[in-house]
Copies of this chain bind each other. A is one copy, B any other.
Amino acid sequence: MSVAGDLGERKIIEIIIEKLEKMPGMILPFWDDASAVEIGGGNVAVIKTDMLVGKVDVPPGMTPWHAARKAVVMNVSDLVAKGAKPIALLASLGFPSDYKTTGIEQVGLGLNAGAREYGAYVIGGDTSEASDLIISCMMFGVCRKKELIFRSGAKPGDILAVTNWFGKTAAGLKIILEGLSVPEQLEKELTRSVFMPKARLKEGLSLANSRTASAAIDSSDGLALCLHELSKRSNVGFSLDVVPVAPEVKRFAKLFRLDSRELALYGGEEYELVVTIKPGKWRLAKQVVKNAGGNLIKIGYATEERRIVLKTRKGEIPIDALGWEHFKR
């Protein structure tokens, strides 16, 4: 008889979804970054839950404050990918019975810090005894219905772009988990990405407000998996001119003879936006994101043919649907 550990996260979600009656007129499909409900006045409520589990999601050296803040960022990022503004957070907290009071205080402070950083407030929650540290957040936000960004809107010819260079979290995790010795400044840069991830609130909202993005996804499952997901939902392919590797990751990869592109493509736990921009709107998109204090990096374009490839001087290299998944042994 099969068990959760054999199935992997995606298969488990499939099994659950198969048992659910679908809400009539459901605005965002299952599998999207977040869910949406009509609330009148041309607005939708966008809601999301994402759970952080101590033994799975908290690497050594990450404090309860950082873990709680990260649990908030995970949820903010999903709302932002839809173009929704986070407003209120609920948190269900599970603590082992020997969890220290100082840790509980830090969790409270970290939740508050994460919410306030993105303009939201913690307004409720629940707590229970559990074997692991559990921080299950639920973020509530609002979006103009016509500004909601779907995963399914990319068209061939759209420009593929991202909000930052990738691979720092993968490199940072390698340093932490494998105890690699790295020059201090580089280590700081790379591990900061693990401990202090950022969600792209201003970037997401400015893309939504300007209606320049045809599709978007949050990159937390890894850049490669996100491209495959956008491809599947929009029925397009992607041709990449470049893998957006962070310069620090290139230096790190050189030190340990790793493939920097693999770190950027298959790492995960980076809360960037992967977006497609309507061709006529590229300059506007670039401008509004810049005005908001962010950056939009063009990495390729959407294609008719449903393949995901990187163009190099030696020809096309397929980008596989590999990434980080809970449960997978």
Listed in ascending order, the chain A residues whose CB lies under 8 Å from chain B are 1-5, 7, 9, 12-13, 15-23, 26, 28, 30, 32, 34-35, 37, 39-41, 43, 45, 47-53, 55-57, 87-88, 90-102, 104-105, 107-109, 111-112, 116, 121-132, 134, 136, 138, 140, 142, 326-327, 329
Residues in B with CB closer than 8 Å to A128 are 9, 51-53, 56-57, 326-327
List the B side residues contacting A30 at CB < 8 Å: 123-124
Assess whether A100 is in contact with B16, with CB atoms less than 8 Å apart: no
Once the chains are docked, how many angstroms separate the CA of A329 from the CA of B97? 9
A93 to B327, CA, bound (A): 12
List, in ascending order, chain B residues with CB within 8 A of A48's CB: 90, 124
In the complex, the answer to whether A4 meets B124 with C-beta atoms within 8 Å is no
Which of B47, B88, B142 is within 8 Å of A23, CB to CB?
B88
Contact A100 B41 (CB under 8 A): no
Given contacts A97-B4, A99-B3, contact A37 B88 (CB under 8 A): yes
A229 to chain B, nearest CB (A): 15
Option from B7, B105, B126 in Cβ contact (under 8 Å) with A101: B7
Q: How many copies are assembled?
A: 2
Instruction: Find out whether the CB atom of A56 lies under 8 angstroms from the CB atom of B129.
Output: yes
Known: A15-B105, A30-B123, A49-B92. 17 other contacts (CB 8 A): A4-B96, A4-B97, A4-B98, A4-B100, A7-B101, A9-B128, A15-B101, A19-B108, A21-B112, A23-B123, A28-B123, A37-B88, A40-B41, A40-B43, A92-B92, A131-B131, A132-B132
B18→A101 contact, CB < 8 A: no
Chain B residues whose CB sits within 8 angstroms of the CB of A9 once the complex forms: 127-128
By a CB distance below 8 angstroms, the chain B residues around A93 are 12, 16, 51
CB distance from A225 to the nearest CB of B (A): 16
Residue numbers in B under 8 Å from A140 (CB-CB): 37, 45, 47, 140
